[in-house]
Amino acid sequence: MTDMLHPTMTQLNDFTKAPEPSVIKTLVEQAIAYKTNPFQDKQLGANKTLVLLFLNPSLRTRLSTQKAAINLGMSVIDINANEGWKLEFEDNIIMNSDKAEHIREAAQVISQYADFIGIRSFPSLTDQEKDYSDYVINKFKSFASVPVISLESAIRHPLQSLADLITIEEHKKNHRPKVVLTWAPHPKALPQAVPNSFAEWMNLSDTELVITHPKGYDLHPDFVGNAQVTYNQAEAFENADFIYAKNWSSFQDYGTIKSNDTNWMVSSEKMALTNEAYFMHCLPVRRNVIVSDAVIDSKQSLVIQQSENRVYAAQAVLAQLLSNK
Ligand code: CP
């Protein structure tokens, strides 16, 4: 076990949002150490079981979190929780629909088989109040008796944001890089979880965060925090060190598409405005909709490195949680 596991032993009891800056710093350092030597703590998770419940699809989160657990010697059980039968989350309800099991029983049952539970649950994009209460993951937390890890909830994706921060730390050329979160078009209405979380983590780190999007796409103010917001994408890109592209649906006119302006796609011409910025995206990405082939295939693109860092981000988080067991 590395020394870095000790300072935050009482501070990370689950992982559903950004922890405090000192914990973030420890997680980044631990993740970078694991990248150099992935098996240094291969006994830490012996005889421990991670159960991953996916209520929505995943490629990166599913595989990287499993790989992280394997690196720590854990066993992993991975299920698509909405296949077979659906879970009921509402209380005081007559269960005569297609939902066969209530979260009250399911969370307690799964807790008997798991040392940690990871959950992916996307928002409805129809009920803002319920989505922004992070209803599903908080229901699990209410009834589970083991730590819960967000694999992307209605409003946050902390494992992605930690991997993104690790990637920025590895590639930054100055102490306080200018990081631009830019909206980009997409044919479907997508959640705000990735941009919310990215802004939350950047605000807690040593970065100058600028958020740019068309009118009608302002994120929840709690996530925007101290970031500068501009509707002028070209202005935002000037002297940027990192361009982080993502589509999201409207928060104000909740869950709707307000614009599909193709001029917001990240192109080589736009990247030329930057300080030779790196391009980032969490993936999956729609080529020549969100970003041009030329940009994503360039040497400035970090999208594959981000997905690699998903393993070490998850490993650092699991190690911290295991050290608290
Ligand atoms: N970035 C990300 O979370 O990818 P998946 O949806 O494939 O897990």
pLDDT tens, residue by residue, 234-279 = 999 999 999 999 999 999 999 999 998 999 999 999 999 999 999 9
pLDDT of residue 11: 66
Q: Measured in angstroms, how far is the CA atom of residue 152 from the centroid of ligand 1?
A: 8
Q: Which long-range contacts (CB under 8 A, 24 or more apart) does 167-171 make?
A: 167/280, 167/302, 167/305, 167/306, 167/309, 168/205, 168/207, 168/242, 168/280, 169/28, 169/32, 170/32, 170/305, 170/309, 171/242, 171/278, 171/302, 171/305
pLDDT of residue 7: 46
Q: Measured in angstroms, how far is the CA atom of residue 78 from the centroid of ligand 1?
A: 15
Does residue 282's CB lie within 6 angstroms of at least one atom of ligand 1? yes
Q: Measured in angstroms, how far is the CA atom of residue 312 from the centroid of ligand 1?
A: 15
Domains of the chain by start residue, with CATH: 2-156+310-324 (3.40.50.1370), 160-307 (3.40.50.1370)
Q: Taking the model in full, what pTM does it have?
A: 0.96
d(CA 166, CA 309): 7
- Collapsing DSSP to helix, strand or coil, 146 comes out as coil
Is residue 306 exposed (0-12), middle (13-18) or buried (19+ Cβ within 10 Å)? buried
pLDDT of residue 172: 98
Q: Which residues of the chain have pLDDT under 50?
A: 1-2, 4-10
Does residue 60's CB lie within 6 angstroms of at least one atom of ligand 1? yes
Instruction: Pick the atom of ligand 1 nearest to 283's CA.
Output: 1
From residue 95, how far is each of 89, 90, 101, 102 by CA, in Å? Answer: 10, 9, 8, 8
pLDDT of residue 94: 97
Does residue 58's CB lie within 6 angstroms of at least one atom of ligand 1? yes
From residue 237, how far is each of 142, 144, 203, 271 by CA, in Å? Answer: 43, 44, 18, 7
Does residue 283's CB lie within 6 angstroms of at least one atom of ligand 1? yes
- 245 alpha-carbon distance from chain centroid: 14
Task: Please spell the DSSP secondary structure of 57-93, one letter per residue.
Answer: --SHHHHHHHHHHHHTT-EEEEEETTSSSEEE--SS-
Does residue 160's CB lie within 6 angstroms of at least one atom of ligand 1? yes
Instruction: Pick the atom of ligand 1 nearest to 57's CA.
Output: 6
